[in-house]
Amino acid sequence: RAYWVDGSRRLLVAIGIAVLGVVLAAWNPGANTYFIFAAFFAGLAHRTFVGAVFGLSVIGGLLVVASVAFAPQPHFWGPALIGLVGLGLLGVDQRRRAQSHANLRLARAEVETLARIAERDRIGRELHDLLGQSLSVVALKAELARLGLKCGGAPAQRAERLWQTEP
């Protein structure tokens, strides 16, 4: 469940897992794994490094309470402390990577949108240019027809001259 929630709710789940480790430390020396598991989610909980360090400090404080109160042996707190630091930093890195991937997906979507807009603009310019060229040819032929009527000559010759002015 802790993987699917975000922010302070994830930190609360991580603290809950660590509290479970404190409770179980009195009966089970393997309860130190709860602290390791909680450390990963505490590191994953915050967007900033300072927030993640705060979450890891809370989990570390609970580890100290469990170690002093129930299991002062180094085989309890040693692996838990190593896991707290190692997996806590791994959680921080995982959060950073997830944020980078989200930013990359957003940038790719923006690039795709800009490419579509550029393509639409290009097509619009081409249509505008084609329409303008066609209208220019019509205007030129109309002018030539007017001049051909003024010049005189056989109608067939005038028509032939008009058709020779194709663009």
How is residue 47 written in tokens?
């967007």
d(CA 121, CA 111): 15
pTM for the whole structure: 0.60
CB burial class (10 A; 0-12, 13-18, 19+) of residue 129? exposed
Q: Which of 36, 48, 44 is nearest to 12 (CA)?
A: 44
Which tens digit of pLDDT belongs to each residue from 34-92? 888 888 888 888 777 888 888 888 888 888 888 878 767 877 778 888 888 888 888 88
At residue 101, the pLDDT reads 94
Length of the chain: 167
Nearest-CA neighbor of 72 among 32, 108, 38?
A: 32
Alpha helices in 1-48 (DSSP H): 8-25, 32-45
Between 77 and 112, where is the model more confident? 112
Q: How far apart are CA 14 and CA 165, in angstroms?
A: 82
pLDDT at 126 over 90: no
Round to whole Å and give the CA distance between 63 and 60: 5
Nearest to 95 by CA among 156, 159, 50, 134: 50
